[in-house]
Amino acid sequence: MRSFTSVHDVASIGIPTILEQATQFVENPWSFEHLGKRKTLGLLFMNPSLRTRMSTQKAATLLGMDTMVLNAGADSWTLETRDGVVMDGTATEHIKDAAAVMGKYCDVLGIRTFAGLTDYEADYAEVVLQSFIDHSGVPVISLESATRHPLQSLADLITIHQHSFIRRPKVVLTWAPHPRALPQAVANSFAEWMLHADVDLTIVNPEGYDLDPRFTAGAVCTHDQDEALTDADVVYAKNWSATTPYGAILTTDPSWCVTKQKLALTNNARFMHCLPVRRNVIVADEVLDSPQSIVIQQAANRVVSAQVVLYNILRSMQ
């Protein structure tokens, strides 16, 4: 594996192998503590992050890597992404120069960028992430991009794998309300990973919120939450903003909140969310504080997913 931006990057290794590696790192987190010796991981955040930053930094430490964290604030350093522009505006550096320089200081780069949620084509072109891949000269890890959050999705997959289901589990990704317009990255990415895993995926959301079929083709997609939840083994709640019109908030209907009553429709399902979560908006306290919730285990697995990814990248560099 060179760079890691989606489920497609683990295709050559194979998901079963990835899950075996995850199990080994859970059992012995320090088993490869010298693999990353003398290697530097640079983490660049174009948007604030605490969870991704801590878990990735911890994973790097477990593998013996040094980490340098950069927070690119809007006022201190803005990147130009267009080619051929006369840069006499606010952007202080072209992304291709920034990427090339960082690639000289770091052996691996992690990049976090968010969707702007105003221009669908621009967001889905993933210009920032792709520029770093094209110009840095080193492996690049997505720490969440405009349209995907693969480290989260891998952690989600590891978490589901850690639970024994009698049958191939029915996994339901349900939209839930939120007061602010959020990207589709977590939902897109979760769908994409589940469709490569040994589960049956159902996606349910209000009309206008249908995700791009490039990520969801193969899943059962519906607009009826009760029907979707029926007999589910895993309920994954997440808000995302509308796809039509792009980035809009079409509804905050509280009836989509995952309550105990909703979970009663399921096959005693585990409840998942990537956190941070708005309590009693996305999910009721009674669910989140019940034994059915596995969100903390899921968050803990962010370290494991980052460690698996860094491990495979470091192995490729040897």
Binding site for a second copy (CB under 8 A): 30, 33, 38, 40, 42, 48, 50-51, 53-55, 57-58, 61, 66, 68, 70, 72-73, 76-77, 80, 83-89, 92-94, 97-98, 100-102, 104-106, 179, 252, 275-281, 285, 288, 295-296, 299-300, 303
Smallest distance, Å, CB 218 to a second copy?
32
Compare residues 23 and 280 and give the one whose CB is closer to a second copy: 280
Compare residues 92 and 244 and give the one whose CB is closer to a second copy: 92
Smallest distance, Å, CB 211 to a second copy?
23
Helices (H), the chain: 15-27, 51-62, 95-105, 120-125, 127-135, 150-161, 185-194, 213-216, 225-229, 260-263, 285-288, 295-317
Compare residues 182 and 221 and give the one whose CB is closer to a second copy: 182
Smallest distance, Å, CB 57 to a second copy?
6
CA–CA separation, 268 and 232 (whole Å): 8
Smallest distance, Å, CB 180 to a second copy?
9
3-state per-residue secondary structure call for 200-221? EEEEECCCCCCCCHHHHECEEE
CA–CA separation, 312 and 2 (whole Å): 8
Q: Cβ distance 203 to 190 under 8 Å?
A: no
CA–CA separation, 250 and 206 (whole Å): 9
Smallest distance, Å, CB 112 to a second copy?
12
CA–CA separation, 156 and 151 (whole Å): 9
Smallest distance, Å, CB 44 to a second copy?
9
Smallest distance, Å, CB 17 to a second copy?
25
CA–CA separation, 272 and 295 (whole Å): 5
CA–CA separation, 186 and 183 (whole Å): 8
Compare residues 83 and 121 and give the one whose CB is closer to a second copy: 83
Compare residues 243 and 252 and give the one whose CB is closer to a second copy: 252
Compare residues 138 and 203 and give the one whose CB is closer to a second copy: 138
Compare residues 216 and 307 and give the one whose CB is closer to a second copy: 307
Q: Cβ distance 222 to 203 under 8 Å?
A: yes
On the 0-12 / 13-18 / 19+ scale of CB atoms within 10 A, 241 is buried
